[in-house]
Structure 1
Amino acid sequence: MHFPVQKKIQVGFFIAFTVIVTASIFSYLVAKNLLDNAGRLNHAIEVSKRLEVITRQLKEAESAVRGYNLTKDSSFLNPSIKERIGRISNEYILLRKITAESEKQQRHLDTLQELLEIKYMQFEAGGQILSQQNKESSVKEGEKYMDMIDDKVRDMIRIEETLVQQKSELFHFYAVLWVPVIFISSLVAILIGIYSYITLTREFKLQLHIESRMKSYQRELQQNIQLLNKTNQELEQFAYVASHDLQEPLRKISTFSDRLQSKFKSSLPEDANQLIERMVSAVSRMRILINDLLIFSRAGRITPESIKPVDMTKVLEDVLIDLELPLEEKNALVNYDQLPIIEGSDTSFHQLFQNLLANSIKFASPERRLEINIHHRIMAGRDLEVVKETRWSEKFCRISIDDNGIGFEQAYADRIFLIFQRLHGISEFSGTGIGLAICKKIVDSHNGFIHAYSAPDKGATFVIILPLKQQQEGS
């Protein structure tokens, strides 16, 4: 399966983005654990420091009491026992705040509080004059509770060390993963960057090559268009000159045949007169054919200067006036809408309607009165199947011309718009087979469409689709 370059680059950048996000998450987790580990270590140091201060101050107070009991020197009680107890209590309060988030440490502090209260009472009692027996008993009690306090302090320090160890292990786990993740993600990002650079460079070069080829094609196309326009002009000039040149011998043939008939008709055999009549008829048809060719060569030839808003209703009414006599001969009934104003050549539109209506008159059914109905609809380009997507925003007028004539097989619907194509013999219906070809040429020159729909003895419908406004070059 072939993936386009744009899709590959999108997938590559998505993978790179995913890898970078993953690496960023790991980096965040490593940094967070590092900070947590440092915070936990600081917390453990702070707790150990406070516990050490409490232990030291307890031992200093106990040494002061013993010194006083041994020497009776009051200087050992300076600072006083009360001040020493106050300092220890302050340290205890700070320790309580520091360990507020640990229920286990708070329970240890509750026990430590009870032991400290006992020590406080021992200090206060030791500051008094005691007998020898009471002194010995007081020392033993002091050592006992001091050992208990030391055990409690060690338990609390052990808890802090355990938490620090746990944080260190988690940090080590992330640190071990972090290095390969960062390495792999960096490697993937580098590879994708190199691939993207190579792909984009190749695509850029290809784009430059395509643009160069397109410019070359455009130059060739422009040259071909100029050559084609020149050829068309030469062909039109040739057709015009040839037609005029053909007219002269036809006029002479017509003149000589007329003289021959007028002078020698009575003396010529009947067969000779018939041949002369056939020759005159052939000359007449040849003259009509030449005139139609001239009309065809000029049909649809529009310039920006000839494009203007055309009242299609007015054009249709003028055509009906021109065809008044043949319409009366057929006793025809013509129904039509008020048509809109359409940009184009009024002369070409006049010829378009005249040829289509003349076609309906020519192929009228002898069994019924000819009826022609002309209707229209304004439609958007997106609602018309024949209009390309690039023209969906344009407005079009769809004009239908229906008649109840003899009709034709739908299989010939495209053929009738070709030049010199006839569905009936010349003995049945007159004409050169150019009229509908002229209609198509006119509609094509106005960037429109024409179609025919019919069935034998069911009449015919010609549908013309014209843009309301002609797109000028450069617009």
Structure 2
Amino acid sequence: MKSEQNPSIRQVKIYSIVTVILIVIGSGVSYWTAGRIEFYTDAVRHTSEVLQCTDQLYSSILERETNIRGYIITGNEEFLTQYHQSNLNADALLIQLKRLTVDNGIQQNNVEELRGLINSRVRTFNATIDYIKEHGDLDGFLDPSKTNSALSGYKMIRAVVLRINKVEDNLFRGRNQSLINNINALPFIVGLISIFSITVGLITFFSIYQYNKAQVTANAEIAVYQEKLRDQIKLLDDSNKELEQFAYVASHDLQEPLRKITAFSDLLKEQYADKLEGEGDLYLNRITASAIRMRRLITDLLEYSRAGRIDIEKVKTVKLSKVVSDMLDDYEMAIHDKSAKITLGKLPKVQGTETEYRQVFQNLVSNALKFSNQKITPEISITSEKASNELITKYPSLDTTQKYYLIKVSDNGIGFEKEHADRIFSIFQRLHGKEEYEGTGIGLSITRKIIEKNGGLIFAESSPGKGATFNIILPSIST
């Protein structure tokens, strides 16, 4: 009897062990499958979020295109308000898209490329808006080059969006297929352990809960960001109003006391010069010189605030050769005093205003004369050539589909250190004391502002004792 029971007990033990093994294996497989389902569910949901974000971004781009067209056609400011809101929405969506694709290097590069194209498009639109606000229409602004550039820019944006969607579609199909494969394995696992379905249900519930929680958090963060953005816009508006108020004060209230100081100083010197004792005459001269310098500083500051913003003349085709020739004729005495030699090459026609370009070249020639080497005859050359593609692609602010001229203003003056090449264009920046060279340090800042306003850029090259070259890149006029 005992011998007959032993196999049965042994079988029970075996069955128990097998059952435990099956339970353990089933639990392990169910746990692993549940983990895979959770992983691919999150992956599919993440891909869907990216696609949804991309669709919203593209919709925002289309909305912006519609608003800018509506504004151009009707002049209704409401379209302009909606256009600015579309820009804000696009910026927020770009940030969200960047965050969602942080683990995908290809998509990160695509998003950055899309950001650059959008920013370039926005700059074009802003230039169009500024032109309409200034002239009331687009006569003289649109040309085949700009139209083709605009169409090309839109196509490039659409191509990048489609590229992002294609990458995500491929990921979605792969992840969705993996998710389906794991779900199809469920019936076999359910046959081994019934609790698997409960586990999957709990995992699904937990995933949905986590997703909803994440969505609530994301919405709250977006709301906070939008509120901060509105605050920043308000601060910027307030700052602009303060600058306008400052310009008014500088042009009226500050100049009047200086005129009185100068007038009374002149009267004092004229009527009481013989009664001044000691260093009185010296002090009086210093008062007058300081007042004159202060007036010049205020005047230059006003010039800087107006540069590139207020056009005295309507923008048109400008012959730089004529502008520079006229400027040199008016500057003849200063050139003669320095015995300077001026070489003027053939200069192109560009878009802008004669007054502004005259100011640009007058500042550059004036600086070349001011900072000339006292031991040699000053030589200044002004030439131009077509800008190479390598030079254009070097600067992101330039449109690679546009043709440009490179205009060079070179001298054989005292030059400056290479590290100061950018600093000299900053407002109030001087490399020398005012005792050595007069001036307020604003001229080159005004020059840069005018050039950039006309769609170009300026940079300097120099070394001590070997002169300086100011390179101006300006868009060419399509023929």
**So what's the TM-score if we normalise by structure 1?**
0.52
Match of 2:257 among 225, 243, 246: 246
1:384, CA displacement in angstroms? 3.5
1:382, CA displacement in angstroms? 7.8
Pairing 1:377–2:386 present: yes
Q: Is the 8 A contact 2:415 2:464 kept in 1?
A: yes
1:314, CA displacement in angstroms? 2.2
Q: Is the 8 A contact 2:255 2:295 kept in 1?
A: no
Which position in structure 2 is the counterpart of 1:237?
248
Ranges in structure 2 where 5+ consecutive residues have no aligned partner: 1-41, 48-100, 104-167, 192-196, 198-203
Pairing 1:334–2:342 present: yes
Higher mean Cα deviation, 345-354 or 290-299?
290-299
Which position in structure 1 is the counterpart of 2:39?
none
Higher mean Cα deviation, 5-14 or 437-446?
5-14
Which position in structure 1 is the counterpart of 2:114?
none
Paired amino acid for 1:240: S
| Structure 1 residues 351 and 452: alpha-carbon distance in aligned structure 2, compared to 1, 3 A threshold | same
Which position in structure 1 is the counterpart of 2:411?
403
Which position in structure 2 is the counterpart of 1:345?
353
Paired amino acid for 1:226: D
Q: Distance in 2 between matches of 1:197 and 1:292?
A: 63
Paired amino acid for 1:431: G
1:409, CA displacement in angstroms? 1.6
Q: Distance in 2 between matches of 1:392 and 1:210?
A: 37
Which position in structure 2 is the counterpart of 1:13?
173
Q: Distance in 2 between matches of 1:244 and 1:236?
A: 11
Which position in structure 1 is the counterpart of 2:88?
none
Larger radius of gyration: 1
Q: Is the 8 A contact 1:395 1:468 kept in 2?
A: yes
Match of 1:415 among 388, 407, 423: 423
Pairing 1:450–2:458 present: yes
Paired amino acid for 1:14: G
Q: Distance in 2 between matches of 1:462 and 1:206?
A: 52
Task: State the aligned residue count.
Answer: 311
| Structure 1 residues 306 and 239: alpha-carbon distance in aligned structure 2, compared to 1, 3 A threshold | farther
Which position in structure 1 is the counterpart of 2:443?
435
Q: Is the 8 A contact 1:240 1:294 kept in 2?
A: yes
Q: Is the 8 A contact 2:313 2:353 kept in 1?
A: no
Q: Is the 8 A contact 2:261 2:288 kept in 1?
A: no
| Structure 1 residues 210 and 377: alpha-carbon distance in aligned structure 2, compared to 1, 3 A threshold | farther
Paired amino acid for 1:236: A
1:403, CA displacement in angstroms? 0.6
Which position in structure 1 is the counterpart of 2:266?
255
Which position in structure 1 is the counterpart of 2:371?
363
Q: Distance in 1 between matches of 2:294 and 2:468?
A: 29
Pairing 1:312–2:353 present: no
Ranges in structure 1 where 5+ consecutive residues have no aligned partner: 22-176, 188-192, 471-475
- Partner SS, residue 242 of structure 1: coil
Which position in structure 2 is the counterpart of 1:299?
307
Which position in structure 2 is the counterpart of 1:279?
287
Q: Is the 8 A contact 1:313 1:340 kept in 2?
A: yes
Q: Distance in 2 between matches of 1:382 and 1:211?
A: 40
1:20, CA displacement in angstroms? 8.0
Identity in percent: 31
| Structure 1 residues 255 and 199: alpha-carbon distance in aligned structure 2, compared to 1, 3 A threshold | same
Q: Distance in 2 between matches of 1:238 and 1:360?
A: 33
Alignment of 1:19-58 (within 5 A): none
Higher mean Cα deviation, 397-406 or 416-425?
416-425
Q: Deviations over 1:134-169 (max 9, x none)?
A: xxxxxxxxxxxxxxxxxxxxxxxxxxxxxxxxxxxx
Q: Deviations over 1:177-218 (max 9, x none)?
A: 9x979x9xxx9xxxxx99999999999989977886776566
Higher mean Cα deviation, 282-291 or 298-307?
298-307
| Structure 1 residues 244 and 388: alpha-carbon distance in aligned structure 2, compared to 1, 3 A threshold | closer
- Partner SS, residue 253 of structure 2: helix
| Structure 1 residues 286 and 367: alpha-carbon distance in aligned structure 2, compared to 1, 3 A threshold | same
Q: Distance in 2 between matches of 1:392 and 1:365?
A: 39
Q: Distance in 1 between matches of 2:362 and 2:312?
A: 23
Q: Is the 8 A contact 1:243 1:294 kept in 2?
A: no
Q: Distance in 1 between matches of 2:218 and 2:402?
A: 32
1:437, CA displacement in angstroms? 2.5
Q: Deviations over 1:13-58 (max 9, x none)?
A: 225458989xxxxxxxxxxxxxxxxxxxxxxxxxxxxxxxxxxxxx
CA RMSD of aligned residues (A): 4.5
| Structure 1 residues 401 and 382: alpha-carbon distance in aligned structure 2, compared to 1, 3 A threshold | closer
Q: Is the 8 A contact 1:381 1:395 kept in 2?
A: no
Paired amino acid for 2:173: F
- Partner SS, residue 427 of structure 1: coil
| Structure 1 residues 352 and 301: alpha-carbon distance in aligned structure 2, compared to 1, 3 A threshold | same
Higher mean Cα deviation, 371-380 or 401-410?
371-380
- Partner SS, residue 392 of structure 1: coil
| Structure 1 residues 361 and 392: alpha-carbon distance in aligned structure 2, compared to 1, 3 A threshold | same
Paired amino acid for 2:285: E
| Structure 1 residues 198 and 17: alpha-carbon distance in aligned structure 2, compared to 1, 3 A threshold | farther
Q: Is the 8 A contact 2:413 2:467 kept in 1?
A: yes
1:449, CA displacement in angstroms? 2.6
Which position in structure 1 is the counterpart of 2:111?
none
